[in-house]
A = this chain, B = another copy of it.
């Protein structure tokens, strides 16, 4: 136990009963390690447990304690009162927090919710725009205690936007100029190798996310960092690294909105997943009109008007079929652009084509149709379908931006 270290208390019965997998520990410890904290202990306890004993012990041996959970209206509220107890103060109402909650829940505030506007005296609320429970921070002895709401989708953005700047300031860690990129389809191990190959004198960091890996770059001069990114792009494929915190879908959607253009889809192996992903956000009707899920050959032929001869000659997993699917979708759906996907999601081969073989078509009224064939590494059916949707959107963006040209370099071979 290092006396200037940090410890974490995670509260949640669903964690002590094995119902869900914790996602706070890795997230928090990874950041704390970057901020030069030695993490002494992570203690996970049930909602009905008292954390007072644990907390009083930890404040003696740590300069930072982060607590997640136990701030809800129906919980036993042990976090709030235990922190007050250990800090030797009372709970008092914060008017601004009360006003915010009233705006959110109205008269329902006069119930269990009201507790959520009380904080240990002298502690500062951390405004939570994603839920009813604000976080808060303050001192017990020399230990800084930071309480955050339990749901990761509320706690993690708060930690990134509010807690990290606070800890930086307290520890006098200057905000290093750090650029963020979003990378797609490249496996983490290959990405890490390639960053070192691009420039091993800079500081690279990666974070695996749902449909992408975030890439962080700091150190050196701006010129040096820019050169490193260009080299990295050349190594792994220029379309697979995009500036800023974005994803393959938003990136295409923004371009469509900018152009006031509409899109449609023709999906075989992804069977609707691309249509679903392109409409995850409200307002999707401004660019997405609809799609044809042509899972069977009949639907390809009858609805998308793919020629039976094409199917017979080249099979449904072919660039020839992808071309006619995309053109069929453009026509049937009357959109400005259309994407088609046909391939082998596995687990078995199809038409003697390997699992992970994917053919894409990109069509518009302005430019000739382009097709692309890719071979994904044989991973799970689910991963192949997700990766196919990511690739489709990245390539469609390229098709639109380059006015009908899609330039896949050999470097894409790392996908």
Contact = CB atoms under 8 A, between A and B. Distances in A.
Interface in A137-160: none
Contact of A346 (B19, B21, B282): B282
Given A25-B22, A29-B15, A288-B295, A280 B382 contact: yes
A45 B50 contact: no
Interface stretch (A76-84, A117-125, A174-182, A297-305): A297-305
Please give the count of copies of this chain that the complex contains.
2
A271 interface: yes
Nearest to A302: B334
A333 B15 contact: no
Nearest to A304: B290
A346 B302 CA distance: 33
A1 B50 contact: yes
Contacts of A21: 21, 23, 25-26
A292 interface: yes
B289 A298 contact: yes
A334 B303 CA distance: 10
A26 B31 contact: no
A293 B295 contact: no
Contacts of A167: none
B49 A33 contact: no
A143 to B, nearest CB: 17
Contacts of A348: 282
A318 interface: no
SS of A interface (majority): mixed
B289 A292 contact: no
Contact of A16 (B14, B31, B42): B42
B271 A295 contact: no
Interface string A202-243: 000001100000000000000000000000000000000000
Nearest 10 Cβ contacts at the A-B interface: A18-B30, A272-B272, A272-B275, A290-B299, A18-B29, A291-B293, A42-B44, A271-B279, A16-B39, A272-B276
Interface of A: 1, 14-23, 25-33, 38-46, 49-50, 53-54, 207-208, 265, 267, 270-276, 278-280, 282, 284-285, 288-296, 298-299, 302-303, 332-334, 345-348, 381-382, 385
22 contacts: A1-B50, A15-B42, A16-B29, A16-B39, A17-B33, A18-B30, A19-B30, A19-B208, A20-B26, A21-B25, A21-B26, A22-B25, A40-B45, A43-B43, A267-B275, A270-B276, A271-B284, A272-B276, A272-B293, A275-B293, A291-B295, A292-B292
